[in-house]
Structure 1
Amino acid sequence: MAQSNRAAARSGKRRVLTIHPVPSRRLVAVFILLSASLCGLGIRLAWLQLVEGGKLQARARSIQTTSIAPIGERRTIVDRNGSLVALDEERFILWAHPRYFNFPGDDPQSIRPAADVASKLATVLAQPKATLLQAIGNRKSGVKLASDLDPETAARVKALGISGLDLEAYPHRIYPQGPLFANVVGFLNLERVPQAGLEQSRNSDLKRHETTVRMLRGADGTPLPQGLAAGSLYGDDLKLQLTLDARLQQVAQQALVKQVKQWHAKRGAAMVMDVRNGEILALASTPTYDPNKFWKFKPGLFREWSVQDLYEPGSTFKPINLALALQEKAIDPNGKVTDNGSLSIGGWPIFNHDRRGNGVIDFPTVLQVSSNVGMVQAMKHVKRDRFWQWLRNFGIDASPDTDLPGAVAGELKKKTDFVGQPIESAVASFGQGFSLTPLKLLQLHAMLANGGRLVSPHITRGLRSGDSLATSAPSSGIPLLDVGVTQTVMRWMESVVEKGSGKGVKIPGYRIGGKTGTAQKAERGVYIAGARICSFVAHLPIDDPRYVVLVVVDEPQGGNAYGSTVAVPVAKQIIEALLVLQNIPPSVAVPTAAVGTAKLPG
């Protein structure tokens, strides 16, 4: 055959191929095969679109969509001037996955030994290389190398560019002022659960607005605008603004700590309130704790005792009683009482603190010498049922209307006991036989200063946006006493500072009123031998009252521990700072050399 073809080629003749017809059975088979394939593709396409279309679309969306879950950030807390009190700071956990260790420039398929990675991390994390290697061990993934990394350290780790290192961000609550506001702000535990103070009582307000963001991305990871729901990237910049002033708080805290230490006292509290609207500018207490390291302190320190613990106010309640007696017209403002130093009520003896008589004295003198007998003589003209009703009207045994966490009601004897037993109203006349919190006493003295209105004490001004700050609230309160009545009592209290036990708080050029108190301390209805509570309350300026200052020191030691020696020095330092911070002008002109200079924190 080959020879014939070559022969044909040499001869120059073309070869003719014979065409044979394709069998019909083969054409039918091919046609059936192609038709079946097309039908199969159509059926498969219909199945994918109609039956499995939803599942496939969901799988595609899951691949294309990135879900950013909220990390539980909380709103910032600031003082009345915008100084930071509490805020969330971003921190990081460093995870290692040794199976993926790789340095920039390495072969993508190569795996670096753990020792190489530990060498680079040791400097950044300030940890020994051996410690890091020990943590990694033989594990291939999910190794927690470090936690609580600050953003700067995390940025240095990221800059290394090492594959197999993963930084997990989380919010961390910090308190820049340390112990200064711990007693009212509280803290979050390690699981970010609020445990005390405003962090707990205002938890819902402090939770930042956060939602899970679902973002569609293209093949290259670029976010697609159509994948973002309206408002999904809304930024919550609200912050909780306090009425407290960090500068005044620091002055009060330092003065209080010094005095409590000097007198070996159990504890102390100092408070400043704006009498017009109930805003509290300072609420300091000692001992306290650092909310940044709360685990190092006893849980008993996490509560603010000045709003949660009851005590008998003693002589600091005498001006309030005289005001209600004037309101009842039971005493004459110009009247006098006889003080023999002691008297007996229903067989019970009552003495002055020094057991000395003061003779016939007017009501300013009753306050100046803090006469118990004089108060009993004055208040006996008030019907006992009316006396008890006034104490109820003042809210002694009611929970106060306040935003201070944990504030409690005081205790007042039953009306039948108060009215039926003369000794009850007698001891109540000089502030014993009932109990309240220092916060409640502060509120009642603010009522005397503002013309008879019972204002609600509070430490927050609400949520604010951006850099804006709220201004002071307008005057408010429930009217209970006549203005003339309160003005009379305020003049009497001014005489205590000018002539009586409050002399230590005098400041040249300023009219200040006050009242000291040295009360026996009771526990479960029984007075504790030798235990006392020393206090002092001040109003200023008398000609235009704006502020009331209260200092309470619990169980100071020493025979000379009185309100005038223990509490007054603290109050004076607070008042001097308050006059400067609030720019309060003198009531009368004084030589420059006579005016002291308050020491304020830098």
Structure 2
Amino acid sequence: MSDLRTGRSPRHRPRPTRTPAQRRQLHLPATRALRPDPQRTRAVPRRPLRPPVRRGLRLGEPSRRLHAVLLATVFVVIVFGLRLVEIQGIQGEVYSRQAQAQYLRSTTLPAPRGEIVDRNGAVLATSVDARDVVVDPSIAKQSTSPTPQVMAARLAPLLGVPASTLLSRLTGPGRFAYLARGVTPAVAAKVLALDLPGVADEPVLKRSYPNGSLGASVIGFVGIDGNGLGGLEYAYDATLAGHAGHRTVETGSDGTVLPDGATTVTPPVPGEGLQLTLDRDIEWEAQQALAQQVTATGAKGGTVIVMRPRTGEILAMASVPTFDPAHPQDAPPSVLGNPAVSDVFEPGSTAKVITMAAALDSGILTPTSVIDVPPTLDRAGYTFHDAEPHGEEKLTLTGVLAQSSNIGAILASERVGTQRLYQYLRAFGLGEPSGLGFPGESAGVIGTPQSWSASQRYTIPFGQGIAVNAMQVADVYATIANGGVRVTPTLIKGIIGRDGTLHPAAPPKQTRVISAAAARQLEEMLEAVTTDQGTAPAARIPGYRVAGKTGTAQRVDPSCACYRGYTASFVGFAPADDPQLLVLVVLDDPVNGHFGGAVAAPVFRQVMSFALQTEKIPPTGTTPPQLPLQVPSDQPVG
């Protein structure tokens, strides 16, 4: 660039010579050193400023950037990959079901529950077609013609449900509610004929009991969803229930089934059936006879058991009061069980047979051994007496049993000993479940000799101070009738397969309790009970030899934990010399008479007579033995 005044380049301009003062002047601040002289200043174009030197960008290391980008890319890919695995793999089924739910509708096809039949094939419980009446409240409550109030009023008489209850269901939250369950197809058809918005029906199977309350305490009942809740319906629920099926159809966006859509059906698998040992006719007779006597005596209730001693098969197990298994919700909970196995009581004189069995089987006494029976007996600070006052008597062991002497039983037990008596109580099955396998069975209470009080040592030999259930008492006498062999009782004859084939139940367990000789002696002694000199002539059946024992025990009242009232009973078998059938009758707290021989024995006679005829069991035609019950007062005791 040249100087504007000289035209010379600045490079060739001579440096001016300056005095020291001038040089000092040059170092003054710019405001003073560069102040222009107004007289000499003229406009001179400024030299353009050179733009500042811009420090150029240095080339970095490109590999770092590439690595960063690569790592970020890999991270994103991994995140998306993991999410994809979660969606398609881990939660794939969940999302698939959610997607299918948008266009697939699945309904349950109920499995027919297996039938329960008696020993002859008579149906006791079966499943029948029924309908659940349902509603979509989101549709029903928006209806204006008819209104929900009108709908409820129309449905109430058909369904037997109060209109107020139906209205709350019609207008409730959600999209599903039951209006009624298990109605007949005819009722459902009438409901559908009303053409009410949002109301529909669904096919279901309902449990039906053709014989009403007959055998209800044994058969049991099911819940609203068809699950067994009581009795054999509960105990064999897994066998009877089967497996439900499913039907799946394609639907449009509005929920309408597509006519050409795919339909998938998984058929239900029916349950297996159950054949019982019960005989419907004998069960009916037992129920009727018991109900009549409960009413006649004013008893709180009662139980009748009919069984085959040699096989352990229960032919009847009736209880009063009872219930309708089709409507268990209408009965008080206290009657929904099976008193024959769940309710315990003090057996009274029916337990004397165990004391006699211990004495005979041990060889300590014989049926004709004489026992000196005083009017009263003092033991451990207690005074014991018999049901009827008497003077000094010399009774044989048979007489002690036939006349049901408490004092005689105590004296016989003293010969046996406490520990041995306890062993026989256990051997006969007291203090443990009977083996019937029925839900809710009580084992009873007998304690141990070490736990027995002073009074129990003398009351247990005649049946007070222990607690048993009716099945246990029947089992004791069945053991005697079966020659001393205890057979586990059973209610199940077999399982009926889906093809109708009967698969018999396993043979019952058998255990010898007393010798055959001792059992035969007891049979003859028990036959004396039904003679005119015994306590149960009312149990006799014309043409048949009958053996049995009465029981009249003080009853424990749970409300006061004290003795109040009585338990009257009779248990026996026939024919006495060839036992085929056994019948037990128990009446709980009868008030119009309370002795077992007076109120329970007549029921035994009626039921046993019917059972012998039904089973076509003829009399044996033999003559019963004439065992002495008493001896002259001058005969020695031994």
Whether these two folds match at TM > 0.5 is yes
Task: Say whether residues 1:71 and 2:110 are aligned partners.
Answer: yes
Q: Which amino acid aligns with 1:478?
A: T
Q: Contact 1:276/1:476 (CA < 8 Å) preserved in 2?
A: no
Task: Say whether residues 1:453 and 2:485 are aligned partners.
Answer: yes
Q: Contact 2:136/2:170 (CA < 8 Å) preserved in 1?
A: no
Q: Residues 104-119 of structure 1: matches in 2 within 5 Å?
A: none
Bigger mean CA deviation after superposition, 153-162 or 424-433: 153-162
Measured after TM superposition, the shift of residue 566 of structure 1 is: 0.9
For 1:104, the equivalent position in structure 2 comes to: none
Q: Residues 261-276 of structure 1: matches in 2 within 5 Å?
A: 261-276=295-310
Task: Name the CA distance, whole Å, in 2 between partners of 1:143 and 1:477.
Answer: 54
For 1:44, the equivalent position in structure 2 comes to: none
Task: Say whether residues 1:281 and 2:315 are aligned partners.
Answer: yes
For 2:609, the equivalent position in structure 1 comes to: 576
Equivalenced residue count is 517
Task: Say whether residues 1:441 and 2:473 are aligned partners.
Answer: yes
Measured after TM superposition, the shift of residue 461 of structure 1 is: 2.6
Measured after TM superposition, the shift of residue 407 of structure 1 is: 0.8
Q: Contact 2:536/2:598 (CA < 8 Å) preserved in 1?
A: no
For 2:518, the equivalent position in structure 1 comes to: 485
Q: Deviations over 1:442-475 (max 9, x none)?
A: 1111111111122222222342135555679767
For 1:3, the equivalent position in structure 2 comes to: none
Q: Which amino acid aligns with 2:479?
A: M
Q: Deviations over 1:498-531 (max 9, x none)?
A: 3312211211221110111111123579984551
Q: Which amino acid aligns with 2:484?
A: G
Give the alignment partner of residue 258 of structure 1, picking from 292, 311, 315.
Answer: 292
Q: Contact 1:513/1:540 (CA < 8 Å) preserved in 2?
A: yes
Q: Contact 1:325/1:382 (CA < 8 Å) preserved in 2?
A: yes
Bigger mean CA deviation after superposition, 523-532 or 270-279: 523-532
Give the alignment partner of residue 540 of structure 1, picking from 553, 565, 574.
Answer: 574
For 2:540, the equivalent position in structure 1 comes to: 506
Q: Which amino acid aligns with 1:84?
A: V
Q: Deviations over 1:63-121 (max 9, x none)?
A: 998755343653222222222222222221345789999xxxxxxxxx99759xx99x9
Task: Name the CA distance, whole Å, in 1 between partners of 2:306 and 2:474.
Answer: 8
Task: Say whether residues 1:384 and 2:423 are aligned partners.
Answer: no
Task: Say whether residues 1:81 and 2:124 are aligned partners.
Answer: no
Task: Name the CA distance, whole Å, in 2 between partners of 1:234 and 1:184.
Answer: 28
For 1:567, the equivalent position in structure 2 comes to: 600
Q: Contact 1:417/1:424 (CA < 8 Å) preserved in 2?
A: no
Q: Which amino acid aligns with 1:493?
A: L
Q: 1:462 to 1:221 in 2, by over 3 A?
A: farther
Task: Say whether residues 1:554 and 2:550 are aligned partners.
Answer: no
Q: Which amino acid aligns with 1:335?
A: S
Q: 1:211 to 1:97 in 2, by over 3 A?
A: closer
SS of the counterpart of 1:183? helix
Measured after TM superposition, the shift of residue 333 of structure 1 is: 3.2
Task: Name the CA distance, whole Å, in 2 between partners of 1:234 and 1:529.
Answer: 55
The alignment-based identity, stated in percent, is 30
Q: 1:58 to 1:543 in 2, by over 3 A?
A: closer
Task: Name the CA distance, whole Å, in 2 between partners of 1:170 and 1:78.
Answer: 22
Q: Residues 267-346 of structure 1: matches in 2 within 5 Å?
A: 267-346=301-380
Q: 1:432 to 1:180 in 2, by over 3 A?
A: same
Task: Name the CA distance, whole Å, in 1 between partners of 2:482 and 2:250.
Answer: 61
Q: Contact 1:320/1:448 (CA < 8 Å) preserved in 2?
A: no
Q: Which amino acid aligns with 1:350?
A: F
Q: 1:149 to 1:498 in 2, by over 3 A?
A: same
Task: Say whether residues 1:463 and 2:495 are aligned partners.
Answer: yes
Task: Name the CA distance, whole Å, in 1 between partners of 2:461 and 2:189.
Answer: 67
* 5+ residue gaps, structure 2: 1-86, 252-256, 624-638
Give the alignment partner of residue 430 of structure 1, picking from 456, 462, 477.
Answer: 462
Task: Say whether residues 1:369 and 2:408 are aligned partners.
Answer: no
Q: Which amino acid aligns with 2:274?
A: L
Cα RMSD after superposing both structures:
4.1
Task: Name the CA distance, whole Å, in 2 between partners of 1:269 and 1:92.
Answer: 37
Structure (1 or 2) with the larger CA radius of gyration: 2
Q: Contact 1:520/1:528 (CA < 8 Å) preserved in 2?
A: no
Q: 1:67 to 1:274 in 2, by over 3 A?
A: same
Q: 1:472 to 1:551 in 2, by over 3 A?
A: farther
Measured after TM superposition, the shift of residue 343 of structure 1 is: 1.3
SS of the counterpart of 1:415? coil
Q: Contact 1:307/1:437 (CA < 8 Å) preserved in 2?
A: yes
SS of the counterpart of 2:535? coil
SS of the counterpart of 1:93? strand
Task: Name the CA distance, whole Å, in 2 between partners of 1:151 and 1:287.
Answer: 32
Task: Name the CA distance, whole Å, in 2 between partners of 1:525 and 1:425.
Answer: 26
Bigger mean CA deviation after superposition, 189-198 or 548-557: 189-198
Task: Name the CA distance, whole Å, in 2 between partners of 1:137 and 1:270.
Answer: 48
* 5+ residue gaps, structure 1: 1-50, 102-110, 591-602
Q: Contact 1:509/1:588 (CA < 8 Å) preserved in 2?
A: yes
Measured after TM superposition, the shift of residue 489 of structure 1 is: 0.2
Query: Greater helix share, 1 or 2?
Result: 1
Q: 1:333 to 1:168 in 2, by over 3 A?
A: same
Q: Contact 1:453/1:476 (CA < 8 Å) preserved in 2?
A: no
For 1:353, the equivalent position in structure 2 comes to: 387
Q: Contact 2:112/2:271 (CA < 8 Å) preserved in 1?
A: no
Task: Name the CA distance, whole Å, in 1 between partners of 2:206 and 2:267.
Answer: 22
Q: Contact 2:245/2:268 (CA < 8 Å) preserved in 1?
A: no
Q: Deviations over 1:250-307 (max 9, x none)?
A: 1111111111111111111111121112211111111122222222222111122231
Task: Name the CA distance, whole Å, in 1 between partners of 2:159 and 2:551.
Answer: 57
Q: 1:156 to 1:436 in 2, by over 3 A?
A: same
Measured after TM superposition, the shift of residue 584 of structure 1 is: 0.6
Task: Name the CA distance, whole Å, in 2 between partners of 1:589 and 1:567.
Answer: 26
Task: Name the CA distance, whole Å, in 1 between partners of 2:98 and 2:332.
Answer: 53
Q: Contact 1:277/1:476 (CA < 8 Å) preserved in 2?
A: no
Q: 1:162 to 1:310 in 2, by over 3 A?
A: closer
Task: Name the CA distance, whole Å, in 2 between partners of 1:282 and 1:487.
Answer: 26
For 2:80, the equivalent position in structure 1 comes to: none
For 2:64, the equivalent position in structure 1 comes to: none
